[in-house]
Amino acid sequence: MKILILGSGGREHAIAWRLSLDSSSSRIFIWPGNDGMSGEKLELIDRPFDQESFTSLVTKLGIDLVIPGPEKFLYQGVVDWCLGLDVPCFGPGAQASSLEKSKLFAKILMQEAGVPTSPFRDLTAALSRGMEEVNSLLKEFRKPVIKISGPSLGKGVFVCDSVDDASEVLRKLAQAPQPGMEDGVLVEEAVCGKEVSMFFACTNEAFTYLGSAQDHKRVFDADQGPNTGGMGAIAPVPWVSEEFIRDIGERFVTPTLELMVKRGTPFRGVLFLGLMVGPEGTNLLEYNIRFGDPETQVILPLLDGDFSDFLLCCARQEAIPKLTILPAAAVHVVKAARGYPGVFGAPIEAGQLITWRDSEYASAKLFFAGVKRSKEGLVTNGGRVLGFTAWAPTAAEAIRNCYALLPECKFQGEHFRRDIGQNL
């Protein structure tokens, strides 16, 4: 099977590596990939991406399966392009991608499907009429969270301490509209508790559980400092029981998939639920419509079976084959460049030479993300530069093994968290 993966980060490296282990995969193309990705079956595609070049390349190479990594390809409609080419693509079409693209769409759908989520209000119309109406709507909320509905480059969520704070945030947004506000603005009640990410492979109303993970979003230990794309992850989350998984399937996944089918926009691909488990019970924070980064780097090493064939069957809407989740744990630690995550325009250092031991590990893997080849060798070229994943029978062993490997790959200015997988 010839597979095309779209994207260039650590998640895409992990997908390519995992698929390369399968006997059913023969060639794996990554578009554009990064210069740290290498392997017997892997080939990078170096050309600008648009519908025309995608169509011609998929046809010329005889691609059997397309796997988009980041959501931007799904928003662009890659799955719909593939439909026209009769090539299976593992992901939702552009319309079903609204589950992640539009926070208002997602909240309205959760409400209609009866999926537990915190109370919310659409503020879009009120905001256009003035702050008096906005302030009156805000009074319904104890701890308001303001959200820009559309894609906002990770800058669209404002957790406020009071209604006055929320009002101030909205006043500023009204004065200086930000990306994503064309889709609207909403307020929701904050929920507290423990966060968990749950992954399900779906095709129409059928789904299969792929695993749970916990991302570590803050840049510094003990969840301090600004948010990042994710500084590391562990899988599975130790307190996620069989009963919890069944409950999430019944009360969150099934009603979502059934409603999407009923609306004529069936969901296919990975449904990645961001959940909060706390005193108010379990609430859905958000839908994502793709694999997580860096959650993928810990979910995939624990999946046993032919994953390429599994994804192909899902994309073809055939019966979903069995896949075993190994009774083990995996930990991933990201090494980031000096300056990352670059808040308030702070520069993120690039061009630092990376040194590493080019080895194959029995129960670990080095995944590259923000890197590129230079005359001197591989250099840093992004915020999250690379990360090690280690897996072992227990979480404690996986954590120990992962941290023991970190010194094997280094660059000037690197920083990483020392508490990944702990304090869950």
Task: Identify the CA nearest to 370 among candidates 345, 342, 390.
Answer: 342
Please report where in the chains the tokens 């916990």 appear, as a residue. 214
Task: Identify the CA nearest to 281 among candidates 188, 187, 191.
Answer: 191
Cα–Cα distances in angstroms (integers) from residue 63 to residues 30, 51, 60, 88, in the given order: 12, 15, 8, 9
Q: 16 or 123: whose CB is closer to ligand GLY?
A: 16
Give the pair of three-digit tokens for residue 132: 């008096």
Q: 22 or 215: whose CB is closer to ligand GLY?
A: 215
Strand partners, 32: 7
State the Cα–Cα distance between residues 395 and 5, nearest whole angstrom. Answer: 30
Q: 22 or 293: whose CB is closer to ligand GLY?
A: 293
CB of 230 to ligand GLY, least distance (A): 4
Please report where in the chains the tokens 């999926």 appear, as a residue. 115
Greatest extent of the chain over all pairs of C-alpha atoms, in Å:
63
Q: 353 or 424: whose CB is closer to ligand GLY?
A: 424
CB of 234 to ligand GLY, least distance (A): 12
Q: Other CB atoms closer than 10 Å to residue 177's CB: what's the count?
A: 12
Give the pair of three-digit tokens for residue 95: 């319309």
Work out which of 76, 282, 288, 381 binds ligand GLY, going by CB under 6 A: 288
CB of 215 to ligand GLY, least distance (A): 4
CB of 9 to ligand GLY, least distance (A): 10
**Quick check: 295 binds ligand GLY (CB under 6 A)?**
yes
CB of 153 to ligand GLY, least distance (A): 13
Q: Please, which of residues 69-128 interact with ligand GLY by CB under 6 A?
A: none
Q: Judged by CB under 6 A, which stretch of 20-28, 139-147, 290-298, 357-365 contacts ligand GLY?
A: 290-298
Cα–Cα distances in angstroms (integers) from residue 210 to residues 215, 235, 269, 280, 406, in the given order: 16, 11, 12, 26, 27
Are the C-beta atoms of 364 and 409 separated by less than 8 Å?
A: no
Conformational region of residue 186, where left means phi above 0, alpha means psi within -120 to 50, and beta covers everything else:
beta
Q: Please, which of residues 228-267 interact with ligand GLY by CB under 6 A?
A: 230
Q: 25 or 149: whose CB is closer to ligand GLY?
A: 149
Q: 12 or 309: whose CB is closer to ligand GLY?
A: 12
**Quick check: 293 binds ligand GLY (CB under 6 A)?**
yes
* Residue whose Cβ sits closest to ligand GLY: 292
Q: 230 or 370: whose CB is closer to ligand GLY?
A: 230
Conformational region of residue 286, where left means phi above 0, alpha means psi within -120 to 50, and beta covers everything else:
beta
**Quick check: 292 binds ligand GLY (CB under 6 A)?**
yes
Q: Judged by CB under 6 A, which stretch of 72-80, 125-133, 286-294, 338-346 contacts ligand GLY?
A: 286-294
Work out which of 215, 306, 349, 414 binds ligand GLY, going by CB under 6 A: 215
Kindly give the residue spans of alpha helices, DSSP state H, lying in 242-316. Answer: 242-248, 254-262, 296-299, 307-315
**Quick check: 349 binds ligand GLY (CB under 6 A)?**
no
Q: Judged by CB under 6 A, which stretch of 54-62, 88-96, 152-160, 287-295 contacts ligand GLY?
A: 287-295
Give the footprint of ligand GLY on this chain (CB under 6 A): 215, 230, 288, 292-293, 295
